[in-house]
Amino acid sequence: MSVLPDLAAIEALDAADPLRSFRNRFVLPEGVIYLDGNSLGAASSSALAELEQAARQEWSQGLIRSWNKAGWFDLGLKLGDRIARLIGAAHGQTVVGDTTSTNIYKALHAALALRPDRKVIVAESGSFPTDLYMAEGVVATRAGTSLKLEGVDAASIEELIDESVAVVLVNHVNYKSGALRDMAALTKRIHDAGAIAVWDLCHSVGALPVELDAAQVDFAVGCTYKYLNGGPGAPAFIYAAHRHHNHIQQPLSGWWSHARPFAMETTYAGAEGISRFQCGTQPILSLRALKGALDDWDDVDMQALREKSLALTDLFIALVEARCGAYGVSLETTRERERRGSQVSFAHENAYEVMQALIERGVIGDFRAPSTLRFGFTPLYTSYRNVWDAVIILEDILSSGIWKEPRFAVRTTVT
Amino acid sequence: MSVLPDLAAIEALDAADPLRSFRNRFVLPEGVIYLDGNSLGAASSSALAELEQAARQEWSQGLIRSWNKAGWFDLGLKLGDRIARLIGAAHGQTVVGDTTSTNIYKALHAALALRPDRKVIVAESGSFPTDLYMAEGVVATRAGTSLKLEGVDAASIEELIDESVAVVLVNHVNYKSGALRDMAALTKRIHDAGAIAVWDLCHSVGALPVELDAAQVDFAVGCTYKYLNGGPGAPAFIYAAHRHHNHIQQPLSGWWSHARPFAMETTYAGAEGISRFQCGTQPILSLRALKGALDDWDDVDMQALREKSLALTDLFIALVEARCGAYGVSLETTRERERRGSQVSFAHENAYEVMQALIERGVIGDFRAPSTLRFGFTPLYTSYRNVWDAVIILEDILSSGIWKEPRFAVRTTVT
């Protein structure tokens, strides 16, 4: 962005935005510029309506009959296939249920079972930590297995991939920096070494087009409460390539993964297909809010989404550097568009206090220790004008030094 | 019940019922006698109101700020302590999250870690099957471990308990027959052999008083969407006795079980206390419906609940045997009050068809293969008159033979 736009140019961008009508589908608070949809997505009218229908009609009035009549039992499979388009997956390879953490556990076990002669799991030290903690749990339950980390055992993940490696667990977009991995290239590198690729899509699904089948990914997991707007803590999803379906062995073998769950058999027999990655009874109310959110996604052109995402993040970087560069902010996210997700991080020595001051002024981003200001740009409900206004407020906070007031230094439990 | 009551006596029982006002808290469909609260509990106004508050205010308006301001992050711990009174657990030993299946996996691993020199898991072949499937998953991830079953390897669970046994996984109330185990006696027998006791409370929590601490139970799991009325698929809970808290090792070691989840550390360090049984981010909307349901439970006298439960099941058994005994029904549940949960099962050769005919007439129980008619009696919203009316309808269906009509034989996926 060589010439900084003025307000008229910003307004022209919004007027020409092919996604601008989506904003009307969301219920957002007055006076807030929400740049944290990468942590918790906003509520759409459709999500709220589905939730109410599920609670007031299907649960209250249908009671147990709704397991059949309202299709609750297959909901995880149906919603998985709704997400499939967003992640480049053909039918029948994706199921919604449990948490990202739990699904990582399943995927790593399944991958290790496919490579019984190999014992090394590779991951990133810069990963969202639960991925590593779950990998440690897997190591504890598979004798001889070990975990090697990029940033600890080698500088790059590629250096760690050799013929001892069974599985590589890697984040598509880094939760903190917003860095985007080249999925196709890294998956090929992993396969060339004979290993299995498990991708964590938490910060890419709904933020940009993902092409799992085209990249020949083996397994993937992801979250539905960030860009997908499924509601706080909405259940996660797991993807397994068709070619592995006859070979899935995962130890969270609950009754929903059984070939005949209602036959009440004493012995486990895994279901065909992606169902084998299910486990126990799922939280239907949360799933139904997600269903409503996915109704909105059916109408989204993923290329238009990506173009707007990059335009928003380009604009934010340019405006912050032009207006706030003198106040100690430095870009942590790459300027390279092909390597960027839909979020931008800036470092600042007093990032915690600055973020608290921003939130007080209605600009909601988040802080990541020790010094990161993180801003997420959700193309469905963020306008160019939002970006413009947010930067003016950030400039005002930094130039006035108001963030130095003691109230902004009070730490709360969760940020 | 030596003399069968008449309708006047039934109405007198309802008039004298100390729990009768609870029925007004529930939103039940017109024209239905709901005898399946042991499968899916009914919705209370309080549960629906909490859900709406969580969705329309906290999510829509509070957005990410609600993780702190609405107390979402600690919700599983807070709700665990609300359930504690119902299961005889002192503070800080119970947490809500994940599914019963997943929690069984955690509990069995934790138990096996406490008995590293022992390799046998004992369970019941008549268990709800997911318990067995999860135990198989644990066996698959712990070398040398094996599973022995009551009803397969020996006639009684007591016969299987010897010094090779690490852990016994047992249901407090059998899901099918309604048989109630003597928790204190069996736990003592398990401890005398040096083993660990894991109790599945799915069909006892909210159905009768449970006394985990008094019985010195080691671990317990349970479901919240049956008698507790938490909503379809509401998250489960897990209990661990204080004495084990410093020794909990469970492999589903997600970030919510970390000592410092927001420090984003690379290496796992388990939290103190029951938090170590948490895993990943929980479905907040479903948890909030459960919170509303538990508000109702705070006012329930558990002894009064048990007395009414036994009175309802006694009455049902007596009326069915008197009115329907000629039509091929035979009692599968014990007459012995001390060994009975809050459900009654009758066998009938055509149980499937009879249950479909009952449901068409508005009496909702359920069918369990191959030949069980199962009826649950939830003292908070079931009246003596409900029992009376249900038996009259059952008698009418059996005596008229209407269940033989072909439409009642059409099988649906889930029952």
A367 touches chain B (CB under 8 A): no
Query: B43 lies in a domain?
Result: no
Q: Could you count the other beta carbons within 10 Å of the beta carbon of residue A358?
A: 26
Let me know if residue A44 belongs to a domain: no
Report A:47-76 residues touching B (Cβ under 8 A).
48, 51-52, 54-56, 58-68, 72-73
- Whether A108 and chain B come into contact, CB under 8 Å, resolves to no
Residue-level pLDDT at B2: 62
**Cβ contact B64–A285 (<8 Å):** no
Radius of gyration of chain A (CA): 22
Measured between alpha carbons, how far is residue A68 from residues A72, A182, A275, B368 in Å? 7, 42, 18, 16
What sections of A93-164 are H helices per DSSP? 100-114, 129-141, 157-160
Nearest CA in chain B to A152: B266
- pLDDT at residue A411 greater than cutoff 90: no
Contacts of B51 by beta carbon, 8 Å cutoff, 6+ apart: A51, A55, A285, B231, B285, B288, B289, B292
- Let me know if residue A361 belongs to a domain: yes
How far apart CA B360 and CA B362 sit, in angstroms, is 5
For testing contact with chain B, the best of A66, A266, A412 (most B CBs within 10 A): A266
Provide the pLDDT for residue A3. 78
Does A99 belong to an annotated binding site?
A: no
CA dihedral of residues B62, B64, B68, B71 (deg, nearest 10): 70
Residues B274 and B337 in one domain: no
What does the pLDDT look like over A128-158, one tens digit per residue?
999 999 999 999 999 899 999 999 999 999 9
Residue B185 to chain A, least CA–CA distance (Å): 26
The pLDDT, as a whole number, for residue B411 is 82
Can you give the pLDDT at residue A327?
Answer: 97
d(CA B42, CA B373): 20
A231 — alpha (psi -120 to 50), left (phi > 0) or beta?
A: left
- Among residues B250, B280, B297, the one where a domain terminates is B297
Task: Looking at the structure, tell me whether residues A320 and A271 fall in a common domain.
Answer: no
User: Does residue A243 share a domain with residue A262?
Assistant: yes
Tell me which of A46, A105, A106, A414 to substitute to probe the interface with B (most B C-beta atoms closer than 10 Å). A414
- Does residue A114 share a domain with residue A185? yes
DSSP A360-391: HTTEE-EEETTTEEEEE--TTT--HHHHHHHH
d(CA B139, CA B133): 10
Of A357, A262, A38, A149, the closest CA to residue B176 belongs to: A262
Enumerate the active-site residues of B. Answer: 128, 200, 225-226, 374
For A82-99, write each residue's pLDDT tens digit.
999 999 999 999 999 999
DSSP summary character for residue A152 = T
Task: For CA atoms A325, A329, A330, A331, give the dihedral sign.
Answer: negative
Residue B271, min C-alpha distance to chain A (Å) = 12
| A274 and A357 co-located in one domain | no
Q: Tell me the percentage of chain B whose pLDDT exceeds 90.
A: 96
- Is the pLDDT at B47 greater than 90? The verdict is yes
For B137-173, what is each residue's pLDDT tens digit? Answer: 999 999 899 999 999 999 999 999 999 999 999 999 9
Interface of A with B in 75-94 (CB under 8 A): none
Domain endpoint, select from A250, A279, A297 = A297
Determine the structural domain holding residue B397 and report its residue range.
Answer: 7-30+301-409
CB atoms A254 and B102 under 8 Å: yes
B98-122: pLDDT as tens digits: 999 999 999 999 999 999 999 999 9
CA distance, residue A25 to nearest chain B CA (Å): 12
Instruction: Return the closest-CA partner of residue B83 out of B224, B256, B183.
Output: B224
Please state which of the ranges A187-191, A309-313, B259-263 shows the lowest mean pLDDT. B259-263
CB-facing half-sphere around the CA of B251: CA atoms within 13 A: 26
Would the CB atoms of A268 and B136 count as touching at under 8 Å? Answer: yes
What confidence tens digit (pLDDT) does each residue in B290-314 have?
A: 999 999 999 999 999 999 999 999 9
- Annotated catalytic residues of A are 128, 200, 225-226, 374
The pLDDT score that the predictor gives to residue A274 is 98
Give me the residues paired with residue B300 across strands. Answer: none
| Separation in Å, CA B250 to CA B141, B144, B256, B258, B351 | 12, 18, 13, 12, 42
Give the total number of structural domains in chain A.
2
N residues, chain B: 415
Is A100 assigned to a binding site? yes
Mean pLDDT for A348-367 is 97
pLDDT tens digits for range A249-290: 999 999 999 999 999 999 999 999 999 999 999 999 999 999
- Mean pLDDT, chain B, rounded, equals 96
Question: Is it the case that residue B415 has pLDDT exceeding 50?
Answer: no
For residue B162, the SS3 value is coil
Answer yes or no: is the ipTM higher than 0.95. Answer: yes
A266 to chain B, minimum CA–CA distance in Å? Answer: 6
pLDDT at B414 over 80: no
Q: Which residues of A touch B152 (CB under 8 A)?
A: 266
pLDDT the model gives residue A413: 53
Amino acid A1: pLDDT: 54
Q: How many CB pairs under 8 A join A and B?
A: 299
Residue B212 Cα, gap to closest chain A Cα (Å): 24
Task: Please list, in sequence order, all residues whose beta carbon lies within 8 angstroms of the beta carbon of residue B249, skipping any fewer than 6 positions away.
Answer: A140, B109, B110, B113, B270
By CB atoms closer than 10 A (0-12, 13-18, 19+), residue B345 is buried
In chain B, which residues have their Cβ closer than 8 Å to the Cβ of A109? 141
Place of tokens 């870009």: A331
- Residue A357 belongs to a domain: yes
> Are the beta carbons of A253 and B137 separated by less than 8 Å?
yes
| Same domain flag for A293 and A385 | no
Q: CB-based contact (8 Å) between B251 and chain A?
A: yes
Beta bridge partners of residue A197, listed in sequence order: A168
Q: Are residues A357 and A218 in the same domain?
A: no
Question: What CATH code is carried by the domain that includes residue A148?
Answer: 3.40.640.10
- Say yes or no: A312 contacts chain B, CB-CB below 8 A: no
- How is residue A241 written in tokens? 């390539």
* DSSP string of B245-308, one letter each residue: GGG---S---GGGBSSGGG--SS--BPSGGGGG--S---HHHHHHHHHHHHHHTT--HHHHHHH
Q: Give A 158-197 residues with CB within 8 A of chain B.
A: 176
**Three-state DSSP class for B366?**
strand
Are B281 and A34 a contacting pair at CB < 8 A? no
Integer Cα distance of A242 and B407 in angstroms = 38
Phi, psi of A61, deg, nearest 5: -100, -40
Instruction: Please determine, for residue B180, whether its predicted confidence score (pLDDT) is greater than 80.
Output: yes
Query: In Å, how far are A114, B41, B354, B360 from B405, measured between CA atoms?
Result: 51, 30, 10, 12
When CB atoms are compared, the residue of A51, A223, A413 closest to B73 is A413
Q: Is the pLDDT of residue A415 over 50?
A: no
Average pLDDT over residues A100-124: 98
Binding residues of B for pyridoxal 5'-phosphate: 100-101, 128-131, 200, 203, 225, 255, 281
Tell me whether residue A40 is in a domain.
no
Q: For residue B39, is it within any domain?
A: no
Whether A338 is in a domain gets the answer: yes
Residue B2 lies in a domain: no
Residues of A in contact with B100 (CB under 8 A): 280-281
Rounded to 10°, the helix B351-360/B384-400 angle is 120
pLDDT beyond 70 at B385: yes
Q: Say if B43 is an interface residue toward chain A (CB within 8 Å).
A: yes
Task: Confirm whether residue A227 is marked as ligand binding.
Answer: no
CATH label of the domain that carries residue A382: 3.90.1150.10
Contact check, Cβ <8 Å, B279/A138:
no
Measured CA to CA, the distance from residue B381 to residue B386 in angstroms comes to 10
With beta carbons less than 8 A apart as the criterion, state whether A134 and A109 touch: no
A67 is in an annotated binding site: no
Last residue of some domain: B297, B316, B342? B297
DSSP SS3 for B242: helix
Q: B317 and B272 in one domain? A: no
Q: Let me know: does A374 contact A366? Beta carbons within 8 Å.
A: yes
A270 touches chain B (CB under 8 A): no
State how far residue A280 is from chain B, nearest Cα, in angstroms. Answer: 5
Judged against a pLDDT cut of 80, whether residue A414 lies above it is answered with: no
A185 and A268 housed in the same domain:
yes
Q: Does pLDDT of B182 surpass 80?
A: yes
Indicate left, alpha or beta for B178 from its phi (over 0: left) and psi (-120 to 50: alpha): left
**Do A53 and A26 sit in the same domain of this protein?**
no
Bond preceding residue A116 cis, omega within 30 of 0: no
- Same structural domain for residues B96 and B180? yes
Per-residue pLDDT averaged across A345-370, rounded? 96
B286 plus B375 within the same structural domain: no
